[in-house]
Amino acid sequence: MAARELSVWGWGYADTPEPPQVDSALQSYRFLLGKPNYTLFPPDVAAIARGLRKPRFNLADAPAEVRQICSDDPKTRMRLSYGRSTRDIFRAILGGFSNPPDYVALPRTESDIVALLAWADRTATHVIPVGGGTTVAAGTEPLKGATRVVAVDMTKHFNKVLEANTTDMTALVQGGVTGPGLNTQLRKWGLTLRHFPQAWELATVGGWLATRSGGHYATNLTHIDSFVVSLRIITPRGIIDTLPVPSSGAGPTPDRVFLGSEGILGIVTQCRLRVQHPPQHRVATTLVFPSFAKGSEATRAIVQASLYPAQCRLVDGAESRAYGIGGDVRLDQACLLLGFESAHVGDLETRCMAPAIALARKFGGLVVAPGGTDTESPAADESATFRSSFITVPYLRDALLLRGFWLETFETACSWSRWEELKTGVEAVARERKAVVTTRYTHVYTDGPAMYFTVAFRPSSPNAAISEWNRMKTAFTTCVLDHGGTLTHHHAVGKDLAVFYEREKGAVWTDTVRAIKRHFDPNGIMNPGTVVPVQQSGEGTKSKI
Amino acid sequence: MAARELSVWGWGYADTPEPPQVDSALQSYRFLLGKPNYTLFPPDVAAIARGLRKPRFNLADAPAEVRQICSDDPKTRMRLSYGRSTRDIFRAILGGFSNPPDYVALPRTESDIVALLAWADRTATHVIPVGGGTTVAAGTEPLKGATRVVAVDMTKHFNKVLEANTTDMTALVQGGVTGPGLNTQLRKWGLTLRHFPQAWELATVGGWLATRSGGHYATNLTHIDSFVVSLRIITPRGIIDTLPVPSSGAGPTPDRVFLGSEGILGIVTQCRLRVQHPPQHRVATTLVFPSFAKGSEATRAIVQASLYPAQCRLVDGAESRAYGIGGDVRLDQACLLLGFESAHVGDLETRCMAPAIALARKFGGLVVAPGGTDTESPAADESATFRSSFITVPYLRDALLLRGFWLETFETACSWSRWEELKTGVEAVARERKAVVTTRYTHVYTDGPAMYFTVAFRPSSPNAAISEWNRMKTAFTTCVLDHGGTLTHHHAVGKDLAVFYEREKGAVWTDTVRAIKRHFDPNGIMNPGTVVPVQQSGEGTKSKI
């Protein structure tokens, strides 16, 4: 909870050293893609801050609360100019920052938020709720062409666990609490959440709800949705506070309209989450398969047998080698990281791991890092290796970006019947554009996997990089949709994918999202252009979502 | 699939004999409530049919498709005058049928439905989608004061399983298929659904989706929601066809707006459901606890340990005796029916049952009907006894209703912290009104149980019965809400509970449901008055949802 400074332009904290893997990663990418075409240097933050566009309006007429909570600090506004996708970091490195929010609000109380929204509604000011600011879909980037923008940073005053109940195993949590803040506070009650999105260190619970984050569990409790008992959200139309019950059968579920709403309806101030006792029992193992396809069949068998592994990540040969799992795994093989955990019932080796391994063996799976609990033999648990790499990767990505390699990820979910054509399609797109792509399953369902792709390419020049990436990204997205995949499994739609939203959901539902937005936000002030594109109305300059 | 005739006034099929338990149940209720005050006889269906109100409008101006699919058959219209709550059956027994739908439409194709909705929209005709017609919340009852009503019976032409995929383990199913129809057809692929609401014999998949039915599984896959991959729904505004993916993170989930929409937005014509191979392994046992509270603690421990029992039903002493489970269980004790099943992995006794029993023993649980698989020793499996009684109960209810006893059920879900005060409150309401109430947990979640109450009382006269029940039901509902329970866990809101909807969800969300309804159904033709009450507009006779 110490006030470490966040990087203005890159991932995470400014004082984080470059990860030790930079050199070996550079070597690998040089081998795969060739010598990089350029080197870049971090932006001169102080100089850019001095020249940053001033707020385009003043707050003289704003109510006292609004004036008290709004800051025009240039560095903060720079930091919130972009999310943290590779394209975002790249634009920041090039010294962009041409469209920062005019102010950053740090609301202290719910009534500050109510006052802020009322004032913004009257003055046609865009309001962008921000958690950790780690969106990789431009979810919190100010809309191009907007003239009045306030970003709302919830991390400063809405960062408490308000209460926890060890009978119901739920906790009432404020929207601006980050992963570490959450777990530190839950520890007082001997509790934990066990939801670890990649941005866990920085992102907030409110952001997780808004973007339907994917976490720790590979099966069953995959999205944050499954942890949410109830939520409280402030919209321009009023406050919604849903009933904290295990499951209501009364009409359409309000929670599911707000989960995934990406700040376009309101600001989540608090929610009640299902929490757990920390696992007392754990087993983990790594299996190697003769091919990704065989590993996929094994993964399917395990999830369809309802064994509910906590970890069940199938990683292709190349990515396994990058992560250092599976020993001498060949590029055409695949590793399955398999793990079970329980807070209450032991014998996981017998009860869970043995039947899962028996299923995996039917598809040629070989145990290469044999089981063992995290606590007893951590070295044997390659899940731990994977997890620490997983958290480091975005820092590594930034280091490589400066050195001329562009790494990015995208994800989807599709049926078991179609994963192979989808993967083949994605690989063809990459090959055509001289990029390399690796694949893993991050989450698995009885009806299909969530596939996660990591792309690396070598832009031809700093000037061409963004357009080269944009073209490739469009090709990837189109390919995913063509093969029956969803636009996103847990990275959200943001502004980057909003133009594709209708392709996934159809025109009738897209209109419905617009109607729901109009209902809560008749003047279109809440994070417009996110999830669904802004529609230009015929009446001139006024744009309507 | 043979065309057995449905009862015009009572539960289920007309040719179903009264269940053998009638005499013993009568004896019990005489002992508990006293001698009944009256006896009734089934209504004279033929006579009532002859005098039934004729359709209030003709179809001369309707398009050909509408004319071809609409029937004014009096018996069918009588049958769809009411749902199948006790109050419904009672009104039918008294010969009510004063407000039947004017026509019953049997659409053959989706274009019939599109034509029907377009015509209804033009002519301000109410459209009520009906599956099995087994609502216990008046969900399909024509609105009082409506002047033009068509019920849409989906069971005749939308009763097919269109395809199944044994890789993805999903099936594409039409909205009008009933439980038996579904499983019979799925058998061709060696598949089954494993979702058995109490009305399974009669109700349809479309009805399950519309009412968020609760099924077989006591944990995890409790509501039909968990089985739905995608759905297709025809609304007055157009067709929505959601993408069949395991899980999309792209914006708010459309499915969750339609699940629980109870026919107020559109008609579900088909959906893709997650299906399974039939269980090859099963274990079941019964434990007796010294009290319901101790049993509740054990149940909580089991569900919070993520053991995922298929069956985990805690039944109080009185109800256990009525169902014939738990042997000589005392009234102040409770039985836990505990069962595990798997299609793929055996050793359930060791892997699942033993740890669950170990947890239960900590709270004084004693195994009284020891484990054994269904197939090996069916006599030992009291779950089977319970299941067969469970299906029979509504027939028994009708038999007792004729003999002067009124049996009804209602259900809720609440947190583990509050179940006891809620149960005590419900019991006090019953005591005050000289009714008896028994309790079971039908489904359990990590944060609380779904509680199911069965009420029996002895109305003072046929004339007073309904108002006596209405007063009691209102007292129960208020009590449940006062103690933090949801309005309904899986019986839906219907028209009966619509006035309480705002109390659970708040004014802002209730307005949102109205806005979503207006979006899909601007003229308010789809099952108005369900979920949310119809609002009388200031402009005179025109009523708006």
Any idea what the CATH number is for the domain that residue B451 is in? 3.30.300.330
Single-letter code of the amino acid located at B92: A
CB B299 within 8 A of CB B449: yes
CB B355 within 8 A of CB A351: yes
Q: Which residue of A has its CA nearest to B349?
A: A351
Is residue A62 scored above 70 in pLDDT? yes
Show the tokens assigned to A529.
Answer: 């252009």
Considering the domain architecture, whether residues A366 and A286 belong to the same structural domain is answered as: yes
CA distance A240 to chain B (A): 6
Q: Which residues in chain B touch residue A347, judged by CB atoms under 8 angstroms apart?
A: 355
Q: Which strand (E) or helix (H) includes residue B430?
A: helix B419-432
Lowest mean per-residue pLDDT among A167-176, A367-376, B50-59 = A367-376
Q: Is A260 annotated as a binding residue?
A: no
Please count the CA atoms within 13 angstroms of the CA of A321 that sit on its side-chain side.
13
Considering the domain architecture, whether residues A229 and A268 belong to the same structural domain is answered as: yes
Q: Which of B247, B342, B516 sits opposite A223 (nearest CB)?
A: B247
pLDDT for residue B537: 61
Residue B195, C-beta contacts closer than 8 angstroms, at least 6 positions apart: B208, B213, B215, B216, B217, B221, B224, B227
DSSP A439-483: EEEEEEETTEEEEEEEEEE--S-HHHHHHHHHHHHHHHHHHHHHT
CB A298 within 8 A of CB A360: yes
CA distance B86 to chain A (A): 20
pLDDT for residue A165: 98
How many CB atoms neighbour CB A302 within 10 A? 29
Q: Is A10 annotated as a binding residue?
A: no
Distance CA B104, CA B124 (A): 16
Is residue A21 included in any domain, yes or no? no
Domain C-terminal end among A274, A292, A310: A274
Q: B292-304 and B354-361 are packed helices; what angle lies between their axes, rounded to 10 degrees?
A: 140
CB A80 within 8 A of CB A52: no
Starting at the earlier edge strand, list the strands of the sheet with A311-316. A366-369, A281-289, A334-342, A311-316, A436-445, A448-457, A406-413
CB B299 within 8 A of CB B336: yes
Q: Which strand (E) or helix (H) includes residue B386?
A: helix B382-402
In this prediction, residue A1 has a pLDDT band, given cuts at 50, 70 and 90, of: very low
Distances (CA, A) of A313 to A25, A137, A286, A376, A378: 22, 24, 10, 22, 18
Is residue B317 included in any domain, yes or no? yes
Q: List the end-to-end C-alpha distance of chain B, in Å, as a whole number.
A: 38
Main-chain phi, psi angles of B55, to 5 degrees: -50, 140
Closest by CA position to B73, among listed B92, B96, B55, B93: B55
In this prediction, residue B384 has a pLDDT band, given cuts at 50, 70 and 90, of: confident
Is residue A542 scored above 70 in pLDDT? no
Distance CA A157, CA A160 (A): 8
Considering the domain architecture, whether residues B71 and B135 belong to the same structural domain is answered as: yes
Compute, in degrees rounded to 10, the torsion defined by CA atoms B225, B494, A248, A527.
80
pLDDT for residue A268: 98
- As a whole-number percent, the residues of chain B with pLDDT over 70 amount to 96
How many CB atoms neighbour CB B36 within 10 A? 18
pLDDT for residue B390: 79
Is residue A13 included in any domain, yes or no? no
Q: Which of B250, B446, B508 sits opposite A169 (nearest CB)?
A: B446
Q: What is the per-residue pLDDT across A199-244, written as a single tens digit (0 to 9) for each?
A: 999 999 999 999 999 998 999 999 999 999 999 999 999 999 999 9
Q: In B390-529, at which residue ranges do the beta strands (DSSP E only) sit?
A: 406-413, 436-445, 448-457
Is residue A18 included in any domain, yes or no? no
pLDDT for residue A323: 85
Q: Which residues in chain B touch residue A304, judged by CB atoms under 8 angstroms apart?
A: 169, 344
Q: Which residues in chain B touch residue A271, judged by CB atoms under 8 angstroms apart?
A: none
Distance CA B173, CA B207 (A): 13
Q: Between B88 and A1, where is the model more confident?
A: B88
In this prediction, residue B538 has a pLDDT band, given cuts at 50, 70 and 90, of: very low
Is residue A11 included in any domain, yes or no? no
Best probe of the B interface among A192, A253, A268, A274, by most B CBs < 10 A, is: A253
Counting other chains too, the contacts that A502-507 makes at CB distance below 8 Å and 24 or more residues apart are A502/A532, A504/B243, A504/B248, A504/B250, A505/B242, A505/B243, A505/B250, A505/B251, A505/B254, A506/B240, A506/B241, A507/B238
Distance CA B232, CA B252 (A): 17
Distance CA B482, CA B515 (A): 28
- A68-86: average pLDDT: 98
Considering the domain architecture, whether residues B217 and B165 belong to the same structural domain is answered as: yes
Q: How many domains does chain B have?
A: 5
Q: Do A447 and B513 touch (CB under 8 A)?
A: no
Is residue A545 scored above 60 in pLDDT? no
Q: Which strand (E) or helix (H) includes residue A422?
A: helix A419-432
Q: Do A251 and B513 touch (CB under 8 A)?
A: yes
Compute, in degrees rounded to 10, the torsion defined by CA atoms A418, A420, A423, A426.
-70
Considering the domain architecture, whether residues B292 and B221 belong to the same structural domain is answered as: no
Considering the domain architecture, whether residues B311 and B382 belong to the same structural domain is answered as: yes
Considering the domain architecture, whether residues B50 and B149 belong to the same structural domain is answered as: yes
Q: Which strand (E) or helix (H) includes residue B173?
A: strand B170-174
Is residue A535 included in any domain, yes or no? yes
Residue A58, C-beta contacts closer than 8 angstroms, at least 6 positions apart: none
Closest by CA position to A382, among listed A285, A283, A281, A296: A285
Pairing, β A103-105 against β A149-153: parallel
Pairing, β B238-241 against β B228-235: antiparallel
Is residue A207 included in any domain, yes or no? yes
List alpha helices for B222-311, DSSP H.
Answer: 255-258, 292-304
Distance CA B301, CA B296 (A): 9
3-state secondary structure of B523: coil
Q: What is the CATH number of the domain that holds B220?
A: 3.30.465.10
Q: What is the CATH number of the domain that holds B113?
A: 3.30.43.10
pLDDT for residue A378: 39
Show the tokens assigned to A347.
Answer: 């014998």
Q: Which residues in chain B touch residue A266, judged by CB atoms under 8 angstroms apart?
A: none
Is residue B385 scored above 90 in pLDDT? no
Domain C-terminal end among B153, B187, B204: B153
Q: A86-93 and A382-402 are packed helices; what angle lies between their axes, rounded to 10 degrees?
A: 30
Is residue A388 scored above 90 in pLDDT? no
Residue A501, C-beta contacts closer than 8 angstroms, at least 6 positions apart: A487, A493, A510, A513, A531, A532, A533, B250, B251
DSSP B197-239: -TTTTT-BHHHHHHHT-B-S-SSSS-BGGGGEEEEEEEETTEE
CB B271 within 8 A of CB B204: no
CA distance A6 to chain B (A): 27
In this prediction, residue A377 has a pLDDT band, given cuts at 50, 70 and 90, of: very low
Is residue A144 scored above 80 in pLDDT? yes
Considering the domain architecture, whether residues B258 and B312 belong to the same structural domain is answered as: no
Q: Is A249 annotated as a binding residue?
A: no
Closest by CA position to B442, among listed B311, B534, B333: B311
**A82 catalytically annotated:** no
Is residue B13 included in any domain, yes or no? no
Q: What is the CATH number of the domain that holds A382?
A: 3.30.70.3450
Considering the domain architecture, whether residues A297 and A336 belong to the same structural domain is answered as: yes
Distance CA B414, CA A47 (A): 57
In this prediction, residue A63 has a pLDDT band, given cuts at 50, 70 and 90, of: very high
- B11-29: average pLDDT: 93
Which residue range forms the structural domain that includes residue A119?
Answer: 40-153
Q: Is the dihedral of CA A412, A415, A421, A424 positive or negative?
A: positive
Q: What is the per-residue pLDDT across A347-364, written as a single tens digit (0 to 9) for each?
A: 999 999 999 999 999 999
The mean pLDDT of chain A is: 94
Show the tokens assigned to B400.
Answer: 């007792």
Q: List the end-to-end C-alpha distance of chain A, in Å, as a whole number.
A: 38
pLDDT for residue A389: 78
Q: Is B529 annotated as a binding residue?
A: no
Is residue B310 scored above 80 in pLDDT? yes
Considering the domain architecture, whether residues B195 and B299 belong to the same structural domain is answered as: no
Residue A477, C-beta contacts closer than 8 angstroms, at least 6 positions apart: A410, A487, A497, A500
Distance CA B56, CA B102 (A): 6
Is residue A128 scored above 50 in pLDDT? yes
Distance CA B545, CA A291 (A): 57
CA distance A74 to chain B (A): 31
pLDDT for residue A371: 55
Main-chain phi, psi angles of A505, to 5 degrees: -100, -15
Residue A27: strand pairing partners: none
Q: What is the per-residue pLDDT across A4-30, written as a single tens digit (0 to 9) for each?
A: 899 999 999 999 999 999 999 999 999
Q: Is B525 annotated as a binding residue?
A: no
Considering the domain architecture, whether residues B362 and B449 belong to the same structural domain is answered as: no
Q: What is the per-residue pLDDT across A395-421, written as a single tens digit (0 to 9) for each?
A: 999 999 999 999 999 999 999 999 999
Q: Do B252 and A261 touch (CB under 8 A)?
A: yes
Domain C-terminal end among A482, A507, A532: A482
pLDDT for residue A501: 97
Considering the domain architecture, whether residues A381 and A408 belong to the same structural domain is answered as: no
SS (H, E, C) A161-200: EEEEECCCCEEEEECCCEHHHHHHHHHHHCCECCCCCCCC
Closest by CA position to B320, among listed B435, B423, B440: B440
Q: What is the per-residue pLDDT across A291-318, written as a single tens digit (0 to 9) for each?
A: 999 999 999 999 999 999 999 999 999 9
Show the tokens assigned to B442.
Answer: 């039908």
What's this model's pTM, rounded to 2 decimal places?
A: 0.95
Q: Which of A212, A257, A306 sits opposite B342 (nearest CB)?
A: A306
Residue of A82, A395, A441, A452 marked active site: A452
